[in-house]
Chains A and B, each alone.
Chain A
Amino acid sequence: MKAPPFAYVRPATLDDVLAELAGGDAKVLAGGQSLVPVLAMRLGRPATLVDINSVADLHGLAAVSGALRVGAAVRQRTVERADAARAVPLIGMALPFVGHRELRSRGTVVGSLAHADPAAELPAVAACLEATIEVAGPSGRRSVPAAAFFTGAMTTGAGPDEIVVAVAFPTARPGEGFGFAEIARRHGDFALAGVATRVRVDADGITDARLTGFGISDRPVSRDVTALVQAAGEREPELRVATAELATEVVDTAGDAHGSTGYRRRLFGVLAARELARAVRHARRSSEEDPT
């Protein structure tokens, strides 16, 4: 478990990072929680590791104009502890499930998105919240909606000569409620199945409901479930009927020794109903608390 030979660079500016990536055979090193084991197992052999931790611009973490913007070098644990992150409650609900605290102290939020493990929590949060992924490359910067960013297992819309510089999560608005849950073999493992939910209510009732599943397909899968939540409200048994049906449609992972396809469907259906009900309750509370 020793890495094959590679060159290591630690540029101080984003331009220099992009210059290093231009060769096409370089990998970005941020927290290293996924990349370093891949190197040690010799499953990946990039010619160059581009350490971005010295790029000051990538350490930004701030809530501005309706979004929490997290830079590429920001640790998961930093976000977990940041006051600014309270504006995005779903992140706070999801982060405790990401590995263990020790891992979150190294791992980055953006790194988790760029790695795009289909069972990872943060891509699902990004998909559920319709976050925006900011990508920089030789031809400049572009913003990619999360739904378009995750293109398959461990594959994203960012090219080999590009880098994800930040992610912008929309901050919660009054009348929005959220749910998050996953089931894993052990605490801290990748999910067998998990869900993130977002529900919006106004004075007339439920206006929008969104459900994202992870660990169930080759990428996070989001569905507009407004109609079914409007019909069932927070009544879990009724939600269960609908989500069980949905499970057969969206859960298409092949399964493994830890969770067969059938078991993941069961879990997705159960968790989706639970977390939609929770989001409805949460949204109603959030709506009542808001004086407007």
Chain B
Amino acid sequence: MTEPQNQGQQQRWTPARVEDGPLVTGRGRFLDDIDPLPGTLVAAVVRSTQPHARLRSVDLSRARAHPGVAAVIGPEEVRAALRPFPLSTGTAMPYYPTGTDKVRFVGEPIAVVVATDRYTAEDAAELVAVDYEPLPVVVHPRAALAPDAPLLHEDAGSNVATDRTFSFGPVDEAFAQAAHVVEGEYDFPRYSSVPMECYSVIADWRDGGGDGSGGPSIEAWANFHGPFTMVPVMAGALGLPSSRIRLHVPADIGGSFGIKAGIYPYVVLMALASKHAGTPVRWTEDRAEHLLASSAGADRVMRFAAAVAADGTVTALKADLVDNVGAYLRPPEPSTLYRCFGNITGPYRIGAVEIRARAVVTNRMPVGLNRGFGGQQLYFGLERLMDAVADAVGQDVLEVRTRNLVGSFPHETPTGGVYDSGDYSAAVELAVKNADLAALRARQDEVRAAGGFYGIGVGLVVDPSGTNIGYVGLATPSEQRKPGRDKSGSTEHVRISVDMQGLVTVMLGSVPQGQGHATVARAVAARRLGLPVEQVRVVVDMDTATTPWTVTSGSYSSRFAPLVTSAVVGAADRIAGTVRAAAGVMLDLPPEELELADGLVRQRSEPDRDVQFRHAAGLVHWDPGALPPGTPARLYEEAAFTPAEVKAATKDDRINSSLCYGFVAEIVAVRIDPDTLEITLDRVSSVHDAGTVLNQQLLDGQVLGALTHALGGAMYEEFTYADSGQPTSGTFLDYLCPTAAETGYELRTDHVVSPSPLTPLGAKGCGEGSSMSFPVAFANAVADALRPAGVPITRLPLHGDVLHRLLDTKEY
């Protein structure tokens, strides 16, 4: 027997989260670690090498004959068994999990090979012969809009998947009367979040399963994290009721930040593969597949215009947004256009706004959720524009912003958003103070005097959380929206139970991606029930057959803090009611005189009269006959948090697109080497208002993580394509994620706390703020640095080579 190596040593590390121990000791159980069904075979996917081509033929015969292969399916099997996924708009751009008539991007699935192991499956996949008829290619959104552009979906007659125009308030009047009209055209790039575990699915097709229904059903495991609106989308493709898809999501999904919402087509595809193989099938995406064909945030080209009074007041805004959604309008797109609809005027009092919202298809990988979803794109335009407004009126970039800031709450925006709380000017002041802006300005003067480049940029953003899925309706004109079929809501469900020993179990349907939901839910429930946290455990594994969930469930749009914790409060309070009733019997006191604290149920006025929580809970289990009449012996409680403030879109297309609205004020200082043009972050001051802080360490982690994610988009990461349609960022040699070595800059973070009046704890979401603010604050800083050189900054990412080409193409 070997002695434990660390016997007698002091414990040197205390995990900050209940999740941490298993994760840092290699005991996390990710999708690829679990093997729930005996006899599961392994799939490999055959993918298009062509960006745009008609499929003349797909010959599966040699692959089917390969030893060890159980089944091979291709376009024929897909067409025979599936319907196109239901889209959010009526556009004729049918989307299947594989190409059927054509392929429209490099990496699009064409066939699936199911074999004994992945090596064999990949060997056989090479034997699938695809005869392509190449078609003209379009990869740039502006080119895709051209009238003579190659059409991806001929039946649609255009590459424009959706095109809507909205106008609120006296826009034309404001522009007619404006002292200045300030315009700008901006491009936002396409990048991802690069999860640690790629997509992974286990699917089992059962014909006439034993549930008495007689029809087929599917049991699947996937590292999917919602939105669960995609469950009916999957069901629609399969032609099954939603409840015939039983979906499991393990507690550890290996990260996502939105990217894994795009996994659902593979759940359907592997279910079909399982049907043909007659066994369960598993498929784990490898990194090459992931970078080629999973998902990314939408790239956007946009044009903004502001009507500005002589004093710098912005009186109206025009926004023309064109999202490049890739080859298909994969649901939930075109949501990138609408997620920020209610906060499209950002933190500013702008009373009139006109929006044109378009999505175009191109021969690129489809897009979807990515941390900050729609925010980084919007604010890149809006906050670059505010710098141009400052220039036009001859004011400092902070002065002109402060002049326009929303000052009182609740604040209703022209597009229907209702900002619940905030103190924007206090947050800006704190960010300025922490940045030591005066010292940064002095440093800038010094560097400039020596012929160098130094810049300071500002980004102020409203950070929406708790999405109202009703915004999806905006993609459809209101006269075409069916009466009685409105969509709205940002509901979350929670179940809490108490066992015979008084131990509390909180069951979440929040499908976390690693954010620490269990840690926070445990603390909230324990506090609400007056228990030590050790007496509460949290289950986050999702099983759609047993976990409480609804169509809006999922880990997206920073829903946990505002919505899930609110449901935890609701369910805990019901449990508390039952426990108080039981304790009332034991103490012979009316339940309303009792409180829960310190693991006890005690009389408020005479705290010495108490019973232990566990004994009161025990009474409910063991002696329900003793309960007062009308008190059910029920220590299982479910609660749904259903805020009233999130309604469906109005007839005039206004919508409160999120429940809560936080705020970020960010100041970024950069230094640029005048010789090598390398950009170095000199200092970042970031102030967040996420309402009540539930866990400071986790909030700080979200801020740092969002900043690092944004740093990727600002300086390093981009999915690029050659004009031929071939991806040029297919490996980590070319798709550059920032590493620890790139994040060593001076960071000063801080918080302003404006509790939300709409959530019981006052908490708002906090997972995405800097993902939205940092890219533009960084771009503003670089633009400020290069001001002496007169170089316009209208796009990202920015790095030495980009600056070189902007500065002096002639010299070299």
Contact = CB atoms under 8 A, between A and B. Distances in A.
Given A183-B676, A260-B801, A270-B675, A4 B123 contact: yes
B25 interface: no
A179 B286 CA distance: 40
A240 B676 CA distance: 12
B800 interface: yes
Interface stretch (B206-214, B403-411, B738-746): B738-746
A1 B288 contact: yes
Contact of B287 (A1, A190, A258, A263): A1
Contacts of A270: 675-676
A258 B809 CA distance: 16
Contacts, number: 80
19 contacts: A1-B287, A2-B118, A5-B119, A186-B716, A188-B741, A189-B736, A192-B800, A248-B812, A256-B728, A258-B799, A258-B801, A259-B800, A259-B801, A263-B677, A263-B800, A263-B804, A266-B812, A267-B676, A270-B676
Contact of B812 (A188, A189, A256, A263): A263
B812 A262 contact: yes
B675 A262 contact: no
Interface of A: 1-5, 41-42, 100, 183, 185-190, 192, 247-248, 256-263, 265-267, 270-271
Contact of A186 (B675, B718, B742, B801): B742
B728 A257 contact: yes
A266 B739 contact: no
B281 to A, nearest CB: 17
Nearest to A236: B675
A186 B804 contact: no
B741 A266 contact: no
B122 interface: yes
B734 interface: yes
Given A248-B812, A263-B801, 14 more contacts: A2-B118, A187-B741, A188-B739, A257-B718, A257-B728, A259-B800, A262-B804, A262-B809, A262-B811, A266-B676, A266-B812, A267-B676, A270-B675, A271-B676
A60 B615 CA distance: 72
Contact of A257 (B126, B287, B720, B739): B720
B733 interface: yes
Given A260-B805, A263-B801, A186 B812 contact: no
Nearest to B810: A262
Contacts of A257: 718, 720, 728-729, 734, 801
A interface secondary structure, majority: loop
A2 B126 CA distance: 12
Nearest to A259: B801
Contacts of A183: 676, 678, 800
Nearest to A258: B801
A41 B809 CA distance: 37
Nearest to A181: B676
Contacts of A4: 122-123
Contact of A2 (B122, B675, B676, B812): B122
Nearest to B730: A41
Nearest to B802: A263
Interface residues of B, number: 33
Interface of B: 118-119, 122-123, 126, 286-288, 675-678, 716, 718, 720, 728-729, 731, 733-734, 736, 738-739, 741-742, 799-801, 804-805, 809, 811-812
Contacts of A262: 804-805, 809, 811-812
Contact of B799 (A5, A42, A185, A190): A185
A238 to B, nearest CB: 15
Contacts of A187: 739, 741-742
B733 A190 contact: yes
A3 B286 CA distance: 13
Contacts of A41: 288, 731
Contacts of B123: 4-5
A131 to B, nearest CB: 26
Contacts of B738: 186
Nearest to B121: A2
B286 A186 contact: no
A261 B809 CA distance: 11
A277 to B, nearest CB: 13
Which interface residue of B286, B801, B811 has the most chain A CB atoms within 10 A?
B801
Given A257-B720, A257-B728, A266-B812, A1 B286 contact: yes
The 4 residue pairs across chains A and B that have the minimum distance between CB atoms? A262-B812, A187-B741, A1-B286, A263-B804
A260 B678 CA distance: 14
A263 B287 CA distance: 30
Contacts of A189: 733, 736
B808 to A, nearest CB: 9
Contacts of B122: 2, 4, 42
Contacts of B811: 262, 266
B758 to A, nearest CB: 42
A192 B733 CA distance: 12
A217 to B, nearest CB: 16
A3 B288 CA distance: 13
Which interface residue of A42, A256, A261, A266 has the most chain B CB atoms within 10 A?
A266
Contacts of A267: 676, 800
A267 B804 CA distance: 10
A262 B811 CA distance: 8
Nearest to B809: A262
B675 A263 contact: no
Contacts of B119: 2-3, 5
Contacts of A271: 676
Which interface residue of A100, A263, A265, A267 has the most chain B CB atoms within 10 A?
A263
A63 B25 CA distance: 41
Contacts of B126: 42
